[in-house]
Amino acid sequence: MNEYLKLKKSNCKNCYKCIRSCPVKSIKFSDNQAHIVGDECILCGECFVVCPQNAKEIRNDVQTVKKLIASGTRVIASVAPSFTANYSGSTITGMRNTLKKLGFFDAFETASGAADVKNAYDKMIEEEKQDVIISTCCHSINLLIQKHYPEAIKYLAPVISPMHAHCLAIKNKYPDAKTVFIGPCISKKAEADLYSDAVDCAITFEELTEWLYDEKLTVDSTPDPEDINAGKARMFPTTGGILKTMKCSSEKYQYLAIDGVMNCISAIKDIINGNISNCFIEMSACVGSCIGGPAMDEDNRAPVRDYIAVDKYSLDGDFKLDFHAAETTPKEFSFIGARRQMPGSSAIAEILKKMGKTSPKQELNCGSCGYNTCREKAIAVINGKADLTMCLPFLKEKAESFSDNIIQNTPNGIIVLNENLEVQQINKAACNMINIQNASDILGDQVVRILDPQPFFEVVQTGRNIHDKRIYLAEYDCYIEETVIYDKEYHIVMCMMRDVTDEERQRIKRENISKQTIETTDKVIEKQMRIVQEIASLLGETTAETKIALTKLRESLKND
């Protein structure tokens, strides 16, 4: 796919929004990173538009254009008719003046190529050789059918796109020229590479805007001269714009305009199933057609305003053409997608089982993973495009089960309160400590029913947590080490209690033994002192040194 759409790995945040938005699910997720699957991608640009982290970027070809200009050859721009929507108040004359400042030899409207294409469509309808005709101006729609619905290839009009037709016309007039298409579409880059004999390069409006900004230029608003060659083919970039330029005179055909890939997919399925006949269908991948293109400047995505701008700039009548490329250059379409074998039901069931879905009732089809159904997700896992961890309900249930298992089996008591100090959760160990038979007896009640609320109140008020504070719960005749933590982000207060009753009672017992020992020692010392004093008086010696020695012995016993 030549990486028309690239990913910035550091920016992907695993939100799966691109997968949810991709109409053909051509995005693979592995190693905590989204990857575009080239042989499935239709370059509609939906993933680029919706990515909240700006993780996707379009291949920038401005340097290629600059090199063409620097080579000294004549470089001529084919400017998509949606330019009037992207550059408010602009005209083709103003665009020509602006592009010449960038080094282009000249610039013309792709709309004249669109007029050539609509003539080819009118001729097909007049010949009535094809029952259902699908327009082929949108390269993303062509890729959609060629890669995903090959049964519908025979319904594609064998007509080149306006870009292709116009660039051929330019090269017919200037045989040595290089052509550069400028428009709102990503897929035109791929089409330009596919037909490089006609289109030397394609850049987007976003690329052009950035280039102008770097050169400190703005789009010229010079009005067009009255005798400019123009026509209603300027309406091509709007939904129904192709039909508005056509004759639509044959009563054999119905004339329909469909935009948005999902709507087009529904229509294509109907066509394949034989539910639609005698129709000319204008299909556009983008909602609103080209004026809703993914590479329109972000600030210029206003469908109503853009339609009015294009409609106001279009004129009655047709472009005067001196070269009919669309009628003389037939286009062939073939299957270009990857042939993947559909996994069997047993393989799908095995993956569903690993996701904790053993019955249809457990298949939530919530779409949080990006796939429409759990079965689609399972198939993607088998095909290596997804992994089990993308199922958020599965992960949530697994995490809750793991968390509950720890909380319910830990020997420490755990109580969770809200900011109103109401009990939200209490585990079995805590219930045993405070003599509660069932957790439901206290859930939703104030903590004051079971514990002194003062520590909890202080933690919430001051924001200072309490760690390993040893207290005696007289009403429960037990000692605990209490830790109280306030989580401001989740607005909860957590209390963790470690039962240290046995440990504390052993300590008290040791203290009592030590106290009794000291008291006994004091009595012994006192008795010995009396005896020593009596002996000393008989011997006429002082008792001072003996007293000091015995006192030291006493202090030593206290320390022990």
pLDDT tens by residue, 17-69: 888 899 999 988 877 788 889 999 999 999 989 988 888 889 999 999 999 99
Nearest to 121 by CA among 103, 133, 105, 107: 133
Alpha carbon of residue 487 to chain centroid? 28
Residue 406: predicted pLDDT: 75
Give the end-to-end CA distance of the chain in Å, rounded to a whole number: 82
Unique residue bearing structure tokens 């091509």: 236
Alpha carbons 19 and 387: distance in angstroms, whole number: 13
214-259 pLDDT per residue, tens: 999 999 999 999 989 999 999 999 999 999 999 998 999 999 999 9
Which contiguous run of DSSP H or E holds residue 241? helix 241-245
Residue 229: predicted pLDDT: 93
Alpha carbons 18 and 49: distance in angstroms, whole number: 9
Q: Which residues of the chain have pLDDT under 70?
A: 1-2, 10, 300, 392-403, 532, 536-560
Same fold, 340-409 and 411-499: no
Q: Within 13 Å of residue 477, how many CA atoms lie on the same side as its CB?
A: 0
> What are the DSSP calls for 482-544, one per residue?
EEEEEETTTTEEEEEEEE-HHHHHHHHHHHHHHHHHHHHHHHHHHHHHHHHHHHHHHHT--SH
Q: Within 13 Å of residue 67, how many CA atoms lie on the same side as its CB?
A: 6
Nearest to 394 by CA among 371, 416, 366: 366
> What are the DSSP calls for 288-337, one per residue?
TGGGG-TTS-GGG--HHHHHHHHHHH--SS----S--HHHHSB------S
Residue 386: predicted pLDDT: 81
Alpha carbons 39 and 340: distance in angstroms, whole number: 11
Q: Do residues 493 and 421 lie in contact, with contact meaning Cβ atoms separated by under 8 Å? A: yes
- Whether CATH 3.30.450.20 fits 411-499: yes
Helix and strand totals (H; E) in the chain: 21, 16
Question: 34 in helix, strand or coil?
Answer: strand
CA 427 to each of CA 25, 398, 448, 495, 500: distance values in angstroms, whole numbers, following the listed order: 44, 19, 17, 11, 18
Residue 1: predicted pLDDT: 46
Amino acid residing at 393: P
Beta strand 106-109 pairing with 423-426:
unpaired
Unique residue bearing structure tokens 């997919």: 265
444 φ/ψ sector (left φ>0, alpha ψ -120 to 50, else beta): left
The domain spans of the chain are 60-328, 340-409, 411-499, 512-559
Which contiguous run of DSSP H or E holds residue 473? strand 466-473
pLDDT > 90 fraction of the chain, expressed in percent and rounded: 62
Paired strand residues for 109: 79
CATH of the domain spanning 340-409: 1.10.15
pTM of the model: 0.73
Backbone angles phi, psi at 247, to 5 degrees: -75, -40
